[in-house]
A = this chain, B = another copy of it.
C-alpha cells in the first residue's frame, strides 16, 4: 500500500515529509504528547531526536504518553539525556535508572486521570503531539495503531501534530472506539453498560490544520516475550479460578462478571488458566492491555468480548492477529485509557480485577512500585483504577523473589500504593486469603499461614505475635523492627537471617 493511499484526506498529502523536517518544531522545553501504551508509539521522531543529540544539540523534552513505550522511545531518549519530565508510567531499564538518580523528573499517576488533567491545562501547554497511525480518513481523522491510551486527548489539545503512518500495520480501522467524555461539571455518564458496547467513533477526531508533518514508518512495535506459565503462576491462576468458581456456585457472585488482568507473565498466566477450564465460558474481558492469552481464548471460542486500551502481542501472536484480523476484530475493542480504566465503568460492570505486586504486607497493604521503599520500578499504571473499583480485587505475587532471598510477604510494605481497603483477596502460589470478612489481625494470621513462603512463615509469625503482645491495637506493629526484613536484605542480600 502506498503512503498516499493511507492518507485519504488529500490536502494532507502536502504535509508528507521526512523525520528531520518533521522534528524541527521540537525544541528545548517542548511538551511532547505521544501516542503509545505498551504498543503504538511513534518510532522515527524519537530516533531523529537522538540523532540531533548525537550531533551535539543540547535540549530536553517533557514526555507524556499513554503508558510505557519501551526501549524504542523511553530507552533511547533517556539514554541520550533528552527527557526533562516523564509521565505517567514507564518500564524501561535505562529510564528507570535515571529516574531513580533524579536525572529525569517522573510522576506516577493513576492512568485514568491523566487525560482530563491534560485537558484542564494542569500539565502545561500541549505543544506537540506525535502519533502513530495506520491512516487518515477522508475527512482528515486519525486511525490509530495498536493502542489508544491518551492519544484522542493529545490530538485534540496539541498545537502541532506530527503523524507517523505505520506502513506495516494492516487495516485496523473499526477496532477502536474513541469517546472523550466531557469534563466536570458538564460530564455525563460514560454510556458503557456491557464490555462490548461501542459508544464512540472508530477514529480520532483531528483538526487537519494543526498537522505539521506526516512521515512514513516501516518500524514495528518491539514485541514482548511471554514465558509460558510456570508452576508458580499456574498455581496462582488455579487459586483464583477455584475461588471465583466457588463464589459463583455458592451464589455469592453472578456468573459472567468481566475480568481484568494486569501486565506481564503472571497476569497472562491467569487468563491462560481459562484455556483448560470448562466451567468458565462466554468470558468478558474488560482490561487495560490485551496480551497473547486473549487471542488464545478467542480462538477457543471462550471470549464474548475483549476490551482494552492496547494490544501487546508476542511476535508470533501478532502475526496470527494480523492474518485473521477480520475474525479478531469482531471480539475486540480498543478504547482511550480514561475509558478502559474508568472507575465509573469498572464499578458498574463489576470487574474481577487481578493485579500483581512487588510486596504485600501481613495486613494486606500493597507495594506495586518501589523496591525497598525508595527505588521506582515502573509505576502504578492502572492497578489502582481496577483494584479500588473492581467488584472483587485480587492482588497476586509469587511468595518469594530473587531465588528465595526476598519474601513478597513482609511485616509492613516499604511503600504503599494500595491500602488494605483496596484489596479483597491476597494470592501467592501457596494459597489465597479472602480478607473481606476478616479483621486485620485475622488477615495477618491467614496471610502468614496461607500465602507466605514456608521459609518465612516462622519469622513473620514471630514478628506478628510479638507485635500483638507489645504494641497491640487494631493493626499491631512494632515500628522499630517493622522493616527488619528489608534492612536485613539491604545489609546481607538476603531476607533470611544468617543462621537459620
> Which A residues fall within an 8 A CB radius of B?
99-102, 105-110, 117, 120-124, 183-185, 187-191, 193-194, 251-254, 256-258, 343-344, 347-350, 365, 370, 372-376, 380, 384, 388-389, 391, 414-419, 421, 436-442, 467-468, 471-477, 479-480, 482-483, 486-487, 490
Can you list 17 residue pairs at the A/B interface with Cβ under 8 Å?
A: A102-B472, A105-B439, A110-B421, A122-B252, A122-B437, A123-B437, A189-B189, A343-B389, A365-B416, A370-B474, A372-B479, A373-B482, A374-B472, A375-B473, A384-B419, A416-B416, A482-B483
CB distance B388 to A474 under 8 Å?
no
Residue among A184, A258, A477, A490 facing the most chain B CB atoms (10 A cut-off): A184
Q: Which residue from B109, B344, B374 sits with its C-beta under 8 Å from A347?
A: B344
Which residue on chain B has the smallest CB distance to residue A391?
A: B184
Q: Which residue from B101, B120, B254 sits with its C-beta under 8 Å from A253?
A: B120
Which B residues touch A184, using CB under 8 A? 254, 257, 347-350, 391
Given A474-B370, A483-B479; A185-B100 close (CB under 8 Å): no
Which B residues touch A375, using CB under 8 A? 473-474
CB distance B252 to A120 under 8 Å?
yes
In Å, the complex CA distance between A441 and B421 comes to 27
CB distance A474 to B105 under 8 Å?
no
Given A100-B473, A344-B348, A480-B483; A185-B374 close (CB under 8 Å): no
Given A184-B391, A472-B374; A189-B122 close (CB under 8 Å): no
Given A349-B185, A389-B343, A419-B419; A373-B479 close (CB under 8 Å): yes
Which residue on chain B has the smallest CB distance to residue A86?
A: B439
Q: Which residue from B110, B350, B373, B471 sits with its C-beta under 8 Å from A475?
A: B373
In Å, the complex CA distance between A191 and B193 comes to 13
Which B residues touch A473, using CB under 8 A? 100, 370, 373-376
CB distance A477 to B414 under 8 Å?
yes
Residue among A117, A183, A483 facing the most chain B CB atoms (10 A cut-off): A483
